Structure 1
């Protein structure tokens, strides 16, 4: 072997050794980083949030801002970033957690629920309060918040005051929380819920999407926008209202001195659950005791570049007729009428702007959030998109068939799989279509794919979770959750 060859081999050997040392150091640094416990300032408020659709996170961030402005230190942390060894050193903790569906913890909190809430700690040094967000329409109202509070008490943590449950962003409930927090912290804080920016949208048009369907009628709602901004994945929080015909029917049964003044007063009042009118009570006094109509959340189905904000709303049927939210948007509101609403950011369901494969799975009105994501991916020029969508019958329920077909033909959609349960015997759902494409799913996930799930929690979302666990394994699915590559907007 020549001298030059020996020198060259020696050079490459040195390079290989340096590369080996660098690799060893990198592995050591990563392990050390994992083992390192975050140092918590005992005088600082630690605000831990668990959010499904962005509400708890927004409130947590704003509370931290209010505390800082009042002269107190505050730090916000997502619950999935909290490590078990950090809890015994946390002294002043505000927990702000959501419950969704039938008492489920948010996706970001499931690992905490399974791995930490099943352990015991000495948390006697912790003073805390829990603010739980939920919806009284569900039987297990604020269940995760209640579970968390019970666990903290069992670990000897010291509550500043009782658990506060918030029903559908109720201002009264939030006022209760703020009052207790100000008293416990001995600080004057602003009212976080007053920061919500309401806007008046105009109802431009609505289209029935599934005429003839055996399921509930679904409408495409189109609202005009003026300088409003949002991202695909965000939520429109709509203030339910009464239509003119509904108010007129009420006034015919309960006459008022001034029909116009009464109509204005009744616009946002719940006319289905009335307090008993006292014998000497005037109409206007009676109306002040009416409950306000609730808010309703809808996934946004468009991006700002489309110059209009779109929703997909399925009519909900109750014993008293159409649901207050779906009835208002799909029937009661007149074209051109104002719809009061608030755009709520939903970072847990936002798209990452990276040219990686994206798998979109949904059913029914869940197509809304997925359509917005696909529009955004198209605008970015990213074409490795796969949609799996399910509904009842292809003849009636293939929502957005034309734009989806156009995207498939033009290459925006790499793969389009649809499944219509009533067209198969036995019935077939999106989780079955997913199982049939298990090999492609594994290939895409190994290429770094993200999975976005939007639609009904009961049945569909549970079935997809089970299918993904079967295909990928529980460990890999949990890793996707931790890396935020599996994101859900379910209801």
Structure 2
């Protein structure tokens, strides 16, 4: 009996030590979060809401300009501006994008739900706002306009009128930089164009991937640099194609990895309502092999795996959005890293539109892809679209999420992106999906 009592006491001691350890870790995390999220009252706070990384890059440049002037500054995602933080900050610079049909970027949904819905006394706050958008979409810069109006309704005072940027317009961005230099009280400013120059790349290969398809042509394109090692990137990043000074560069997901020493893309030929080919896709479809085009890499942090690299992964993609999943699968194969991966891919017809089929099936045989679901909308099968797979496999999806899976969605916003979002809300609920976004476990690259 004495021996049994001793064993029970030992077991209880181990449990108590474990509980204390967990509590200490939780306390330190809460403390560190508070230190990160609440800037000193005298410091400037630079907050960003970015979908593809452009707003974040401008925010980092903004913070660097302030630091060069000797100003204390903290740069952080907009989602970290909780109501309590907003009521403490006195100097705030905001750089925010508008996404989709006037929405906030995914990374800002927590701010929209937790802070923008509140009535707060922000009379202590002075702010400036740079709103990014495109006049191709109405309403223009909708999220920036909404945020600006809300801040003034809460009593905050703008340093100067909101600056709206149409498609990365350099004139508007330069206006922001000049205002910033004035606020910082300095004539010195880092070069905002540093490391953003386009470089020449040679078109080596162009392959039509879907001959006889009912849909528009999809091409595999491969470019080599005129200056080896000119650019580097990581899985999830974008490449921009220059169309001249009078036109906005076009973004494409990079399909290749840096060690391959080339840039590969999947591009669908776009047709306008008039029947004319799109400017960027039309150029890439017809420019002769051996020709040079101007490209530059743009970081896309929200579509990097980051800490999700150790989680089970669910890729939901359609059409050329396959590039956003395939590049990560290539990275996993190159690293010999076999975290569970579920790929859901949709297109029109299996016979003509199963893009990169051999590579996908190879990864499935290797165990890089744990589960593969394909749907083809014109083949007459019961399931036609990727969102219908989610609804049909609800129990499986919930099991993966229970195991900590992260979801990555890549493809068209209209139809596919919206349909997947609606399906996920139906399955797990609006609040749960919002929490996945805040945790970085629901990422989208939809266009």
**TM-score, normalized by the shorter chain, greater than 0.5:** yes
Query: CA 1:158 to 1:205, structure 2 compared with 1: closer, same or farther past 3 Å?
Result: same
Q: What is residue 245 of structure 1 aligned with on the other side?
A: none
Q: What is residue 415 of structure 1 aligned with on the other side?
A: 371
* Aligned equivalents of 2:331, 2:47: Cα separation in 1: 31
Asked if 1:454 corresponds to 2:423, the answer is no
CA deviation profile, 1:42-93 (whole Å, cap 9, x unmatched): 3322100001011111111121112111222221011122211010111111
Q: What is residue 266 of structure 2 aligned with on the other side?
A: 312
Q: What is residue 236 of structure 1 aligned with on the other side?
A: 239
Q: What is residue 218 of structure 2 aligned with on the other side?
A: 218
* Aligned equivalents of 1:327, 1:154: Cα separation in 2: 46
* Aligned equivalents of 2:15, 2:40: Cα separation in 1: 44
Q: What is residue 325 of structure 1 aligned with on the other side?
A: 280
- Equivalent of residue 352 in structure 1, options 306, 314, 323: 306
CA deviation profile, 1:279-311 (whole Å, cap 9, x unmatched): xxxxxxxxxxxxx13211111112113332111
Q: What is residue 207 of structure 2 aligned with on the other side?
A: 207
Q: What is residue 375 of structure 1 aligned with on the other side?
A: 330
- The question of whether the paired residues in 2 share the 8 Å contact of 1:63 and 1:192 is answered with no
TM-score, length of structure 2 as denominator length = 0.92
Query: CA 1:10 to 1:316, structure 2 compared with 1: closer, same or farther past 3 Å?
Result: closer
Q: What is residue 198 of structure 1 aligned with on the other side?
A: 198
* Aligned equivalents of 2:330, 2:53: Cα separation in 1: 22
Q: What is residue 70 of structure 1 aligned with on the other side?
A: 69
Which is worse superposed, 57-66 or 318-327? 318-327
1:367 alignment partner, SS class? helix
| Aligned residue pairs, count | 440
1:470 alignment partner, SS class? helix
TM-score, length of structure 1 as denominator length = 0.84
- The question of whether the paired residues in 2 share the 8 Å contact of 1:61 and 1:76 is answered with yes
Q: What is residue 89 of structure 1 aligned with on the other side?
A: 88
Q: What is residue 443 of structure 1 aligned with on the other side?
A: 399
* Aligned equivalents of 2:112, 2:70: Cα separation in 1: 33
CA deviation profile, 1:129-155 (whole Å, cap 9, x unmatched): 111111221122211111111111111
RMSD across aligned positions (CA): 2.2
Which is worse superposed, 473-482 or 15-24? 15-24
Structure 1 residue ranges without an equivalent (≥5)? 241-267, 270-291
* Aligned equivalents of 1:229, 1:11: Cα separation in 2: 55
1:194 Cα offset (Å):
4.6
1:186 Cα offset (Å):
2.8
- The question of whether the paired residues in 2 share the 8 Å contact of 1:53 and 1:489 is answered with yes
- The question of whether the paired residues in 2 share the 8 Å contact of 1:178 and 1:191 is answered with no
Asked if 1:467 corresponds to 2:423, the answer is yes
- The question of whether the paired residues in 2 share the 8 Å contact of 1:175 and 1:191 is answered with no
Query: CA 1:11 to 1:320, structure 2 compared with 1: closer, same or farther past 3 Å?
Result: closer
- Equivalent of residue 303 in structure 1, options 257, 265, 282: 257
1:382 Cα offset (Å):
2.6
Query: CA 1:23 to 1:373, structure 2 compared with 1: closer, same or farther past 3 Å?
Result: closer
